[in-house]
A and B are shown apart, each in its own frame.
Chain A
């Protein structure tokens, strides 16, 4: 599509200038480069520390899985916040709606609480639609209020969902259905979709082929290989969402969204139906959040209210801020970098440190300070890496806000238009003005490639 556009525009305008609009192809390349560098970094560190290769591989699989989940969440949030300026701090609520709806559809009718026992893809579709519906229900009242109240409504919604899930009165409903209260719903894991794919004609042969290759050529155990395939499916979904959102971004619709973010009254005064655009985008984003929730939480055998705590909304915000709000490429990179270095990285670091010397951690921080061992404080910190993680998270956020508030990629560079916007070449162009536009062009956002 993109190459077609280039060809058309060249043909019509006789413009010899190359296309300067950043293309999704280059963006995917950029994302792949970040992922590759991260892999090499952890692989090198792991091998240097003499860690087990299987351990390193499973770590890489883990950061890829979480990277994909955070990327999906960040992409959806970017549509709301980065593009349209809707400050949705109830992300996990929409994830919860999705995953609970899916669990209800896919859980076995004999289980307690009972489900409908339908295949996982049907469950995912229903979960997506349920999250969309929840978005619509919230959008109609919430988008009438000012931006700060909107944020509070979304936060309230996500807490309502969590409290409904934990509530005793919805625990068991007539017919054996219900939320299961605090103990949650037990449903088939979404990664069992891999076996479901194996049981179908075409996809089955394909999946079998990949697993066979992994087992026989890579020497990877069968069950691990299924995990890889599931993570691969997630990457595919991230790419699809990325393409969808990029297409929105490079369109007049995306331009209206940006205008809403910048100044809604000005956009309305230019004749734009901002109310309609906001509802459409909110519903779509909520559906995508539901999808992210299903693919992530659905991987556990049990979905409990404990999994839909507001901290996850916070994580997704940090992932988006790391990458740069307003940029789809940044969202994906932010999601992956957050998963690799902040969410999972510290545990890996702990293993690396432990491989060099034996960590003898004192029981409390006070003991560490009075200890005769000069390394005691460090030992203590290494041993409490799980908790230190949150301090690192806070530090990353503070440093980022001070040093690079626009995120790793720098934000809002993606020009919202379906065509290259550079000046169509006409004979009337003065040499003077062309020069000027060339110099400002290099300072502006379009000279991205």
Chain B
């Protein structure tokens, strides 16, 4: 699945270098997520202004930009939290523009939040058990009627084993029976990621997964992300830490003032003066 081999990368680099002003023209061989001409405004503020980009299947793509660049709003428009005013979002060949959050998630595009949104008064295991999709027992009658419950119990057992496995993978299995509210900030981030993984997604969108996480845990999270990418998952990561993005992503999209300023490999981005200016707060 990790088809991001070197020829592709090189051609991307060439593209990015040659057509700097029209970033959306970048062609991706196998795009899993395509965002085109996305618009979203709040009152008089244009939060997302004609944003287009695509994410290659099996890649770790970074989305960076200064505060207020429209990263989180773009995230919210893609995942159905907000409805975009214009533009389209295509995931895995399906037009998902304006879909409800649960529909987007069930399509295989699952997100985490900037501030971890665990279910505080549920145990870590309950958090994990909630996530898998198409659970039989989520229908009231299935859960209650005596004859119908057999299948539910069977499935619950599978999900429990799966939850323990994932917790072990993230090394938070010792916290399994703890209430989520008792976890530290970093552990919550891990739980958020582990829980999102339980839905068996195609692609994960992580909103600042490293914010407020200590370096040791950060290393652990990054380690897991790389391992998962090897397994074929696609990642789109919003992050403030430039060094981190440059080191771990093979493709970087820079947003500024609601639009895409530039995109390309980390090397290209780092040498772009516009990007440096945007981060230093200069006029573009």
Residues of B within 8 A of A251 (CB): 137, 143-144, 149, 152
* B278 at the binding interface (Cβ < 8 Å): no
Contact A265/B164 with A258-B119, A417-B126, A446-B177 known, Cβ cut-off 8 Å: no
On whether the beta carbons of A271 and B119 are closer than 8 Å, the reply is no
Q: List the one stretch of A186-194, A295-303, A432-440 in contact with chain B.
A: A432-440
Q: List the one stretch of B31-39, B49-57, B99-107 in contact with chain A.
A: B99-107
B interface footprint on A312-347 (CB within 8 Å = 1, 0 otherwise): 000000000000001000000000000000000000
Within 8 A of A (CB), among B122-149: 122-123, 125-126, 129-131, 133, 135-140, 142-144, 146, 149
In the assembled complex, the Cα of A82 lies from the Cα of B259 at a distance in Å of 44
Contact A418/B153 with A271-B110, A433-B174, A437-B176 known, Cβ cut-off 8 Å: yes
Name the distance in Å between B146's Cβ and chain A's nearest Cβ.
Answer: 7
Q: List the one stretch of A1-9, A39-47, A115-123, A161-169 in contact with chain B.
A: A1-9
* A449 at the binding interface (Cβ < 8 Å): no
Residues of B within 8 A of A254 (CB): 143
Within 8 A of A (CB), among B2-39: none
* A443 at the binding interface (Cβ < 8 Å): yes
Give the contact-size bracket for chain B.
Answer: 35 or more
Q: Report which of B102, B149, B175 forms a contact with A272, defined as CB distance below 8 A.
A: B102
On whether the beta carbons of B140 and A263 are closer than 8 Å, the reply is no
* B170 at the binding interface (Cβ < 8 Å): no
Residues of A within 8 A of B156 (CB): 252, 417-419
On whether the beta carbons of B139 and A253 are closer than 8 Å, the reply is yes
Contact A416/B126 with A262-B119, A423-B164 known, Cβ cut-off 8 Å: yes
* A236 at the binding interface (Cβ < 8 Å): no
* B219 at the binding interface (Cβ < 8 Å): no
Residues of A within 8 A of B122 (CB): 255, 258-259, 262, 416
On whether the beta carbons of B138 and A272 are closer than 8 Å, the reply is yes
B interface footprint on A410-423 (CB within 8 Å = 1, 0 otherwise): 00100111110111
On whether the beta carbons of B79 and A269 are closer than 8 Å, the reply is yes
Q: Report which of A9, A252, A436 forms a contact with B129, defined as CB distance below 8 A.
A: A252
In the assembled complex, the Cα of A86 lies from the Cα of B131 at a distance in Å of 22
On whether the beta carbons of B139 and A424 are closer than 8 Å, the reply is no
Contact A415/B79 with A270-B195, A271-B102, A271-B199 known, Cβ cut-off 8 Å: no
Residues of A within 8 A of B143 (CB): 247-248, 251-254, 418
On whether the beta carbons of B130 and A255 are closer than 8 Å, the reply is yes
Within 8 A of A (CB), among B218-262: none
In the assembled complex, the Cα of A416 lies from the Cα of B126 at a distance in Å of 7
On whether the beta carbons of A443 and B153 are closer than 8 Å, the reply is no
In the assembled complex, the Cα of A421 lies from the Cα of B128 at a distance in Å of 11
Within 8 A of B (CB), among A1-46: 1, 5, 8-9, 12-13
Name the distance in Å between B72's Cβ and chain A's nearest Cβ.
Answer: 13
Where chain B touches its partner, the secondary structure class is helix
* A48 at the binding interface (Cβ < 8 Å): no
On whether the beta carbons of B153 and A5 are closer than 8 Å, the reply is yes
On whether the beta carbons of A423 and B137 are closer than 8 Å, the reply is no
In the assembled complex, the Cα of A254 lies from the Cα of B156 at a distance in Å of 13
Q: How many residues of A contact B (CB 8 A)?
A: 54
Contact A268/B119 with A440-B175, A440-B178 known, Cβ cut-off 8 Å: no
Q: Report which of B113, B118, B133, B160 forms a contact with A417, defined as CB distance below 8 A.
A: B160
In the assembled complex, the Cα of A18 lies from the Cα of B105 at a distance in Å of 37
Residues of B within 8 A of A436 (CB): 174
Residues of A within 8 A of B195 (CB): 270
Contact A417/B129 with A1-B149, A444-B179 known, Cβ cut-off 8 Å: yes
On whether the beta carbons of B173 and A433 are closer than 8 Å, the reply is yes
Residues of B within 8 A of A262 (CB): 119-122
On whether the beta carbons of A266 and B119 are closer than 8 Å, the reply is yes
Q: Report which of A271, A326, A412, A443 forms a contact with B133, defined as CB distance below 8 A.
A: A271
* A267 at the binding interface (Cβ < 8 Å): yes
* A310 at the binding interface (Cβ < 8 Å): no
Q: Report which of B81, B119, B146, B152 forms a contact with A418, defined as CB distance below 8 A.
A: B152
* B86 at the binding interface (Cβ < 8 Å): no
Contact A253/B105 with A271-B133, A415-B123 known, Cβ cut-off 8 Å: no
Within 8 A of B (CB), among A229-245: 244
Going nearest first, the 7 A-B pairs with the smallest beta carbon separation are A252-B137, A271-B105, A251-B143, A262-B119, A444-B177, A436-B174, A266-B117
4 more A-B contacts (CB under 8 A) besides A258-B122, A417-B125, A418-B143?
Answer: A9-B157, A256-B138, A267-B130, A284-B140
- Listed by A's residue number, 6 A-B pairs whose Cβ atoms lie within 8 Å are A266-B117, A272-B130, A421-B176, A424-B160, A444-B179, A446-B123
Interface residues of B (CB under 8 A from A): 79, 81, 100-102, 105-106, 110-111, 113, 117-123, 125-126, 129-131, 133, 135-140, 142-144, 146, 149, 152-153, 156-157, 160-161, 163-164, 168, 173-179, 195-196, 199
